[in-house]
């Protein structure tokens, strides 16, 4: 399976979890995907542990028709980004067009802000379980979950299985499952 020709928007805000951003981005690129970092504004975005990545486009500049999927790492970034209606709308547009949405850790918070978790089975950082359930999600404790067009994962330890599931779904080899 190869990701050549696939384009992934990576949504980052201040305080992203470094490993949850860097490892999947590296994996996607190493398998041929084009990754574009999208943020509140162009320029440096700082991770929790010192990583600095460059946002190439803003929410308003990025056109979802250019992308096959959106990837949202965790950390403090999702809680930060959900304050911006344009970020929430950008995420919602991926659901409306049935494009893949890939989340790790706290990223479910941004999906909840976009009203995308009702009746969705997903996973994430255990600390967001109550928030997800209050928003109508079926929150489960599994390394990776794929439901409809959303693939979700919990923690940095789950990144390898998360990466493989995203690759599998973007390559069109599977639909929904849990691991």
Catalytic residues: 105-106
Nearest to 53 by CA among 102, 17, 3, 85: 17
* Euclidean distance between CA atoms 37 and 55, whole angstroms: 5
* Euclidean distance between CA atoms 72 and 157, whole angstroms: 16
Half-sphere exposure of 158 (CA within 13 A, CB side): 24
Residue 98 main-chain phi, psi, to 5 deg: 60, 35
Q: Are 161 and 179 in contact (CB under 8 A)?
A: yes
**Residue 5 in tokens:** 């020709």
**Residue 76 in tokens:** 């403090």
């Amino acid at each position: 399976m190869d990701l050549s020709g696939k384009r992934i928007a990576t949504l980052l805000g201040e305080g992203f979890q470094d490993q949850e951003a860097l490892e999947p981005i590296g994996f996607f690129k190493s398998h041929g995907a084009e990754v574009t970092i999208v943020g509140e504004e162009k320029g440096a975005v700082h991770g929790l542990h010192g990583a600095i990545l460059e946002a190439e486009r803003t929410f308003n500049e990025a056109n979802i028709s250019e992308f096959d999927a959106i990837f949202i790492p965790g950390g403090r970034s999702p809680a930060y980004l959900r304050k911006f209606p344009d970020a929430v709308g950008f995420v919602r547009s991926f659901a409306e067009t049935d494009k893949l949405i890939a989340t790790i850790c706290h990223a479910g918070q941004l999906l909840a802000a976009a009203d995308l978790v009702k009746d969705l089975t997903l996973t994430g950082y255990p600390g967001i379980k109550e928030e997800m359930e209050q928003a109508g999600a079926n929150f489960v404790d599994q390394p990776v979950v794929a439901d409809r067009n959303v693939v979700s994962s919990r923690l940095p330890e789950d990144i390898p299985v998360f990466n493989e599931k995203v690759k599998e779904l973007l390559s069109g080899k599977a639909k929904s499952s849990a691991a």
